[in-house]
Copies of this chain bind each other. A is one copy, B any other.
Amino acid sequence: MTITTQEPHTMDELTARAAFDRAINTYKQEFGEFFLARFCGLQIDYDQSSCIIEFSVEEYMFNPQGSLHGGIIALVLDVSMGHLLRHHAGPGVTLEMTTKYLKAVRGGRLHAKGEFLKRGKQICFLRSELYDSDQQLIAFATSTWKIL
């Protein structure tokens, strides 16, 4: 006799716990290393004119429909733009951000690329794109920032 223990709607809890432990053990509440960035496993780098973020899509980041939550996408794109701004122009605050969601994603490694649309003295405009490993565009954001 076989007993099937069905547990629908669960997620990979080991990965979630590992992410939390990594975050709590290594975060500093500074740019590049703050808790949320660590918890999402964001690897944040810069080149000449952009901020590149890589991370792996994990089930603990999902919406109830089983794909990467739009709020996590917004968070990653926001981080890519805010970190670029801090890197080149000092800290700022997001006045507004607009995100287009082009494609649902259920796993794999993604990378975001934040860039300036315009660097002003008081106001900056930025954009960021999120791609999957097949170079498919997943999301596209633009935002307005006030330099502090």
Contacts and interface: CB of A to CB of B under 8 A. Distances in A.
Contacts of A94: 70, 101
Contact of A24 (B16, B95, B100): B16
Contacts of A29: 9-11, 59, 62, 64, 66
How many copies of the chain does the oligomer comprise? 4
A110 interface: no
A13 B94 CA distance: 26
A95 B103 CA distance: 9
Contacts of A20: 16-17, 20
A59 B17 CA distance: 19
A122 interface: yes
A98 interface: yes
23 contacts: A9-B28, A10-B29, A11-B27, A13-B24, A16-B20, A16-B35, A29-B64, A34-B64, A35-B62, A36-B71, A39-B60, A71-B72, A71-B78, A74-B78, A93-B101, A97-B101, A100-B117, A102-B117, A102-B125, A103-B118, A122-B146, A140-B142, A142-B142
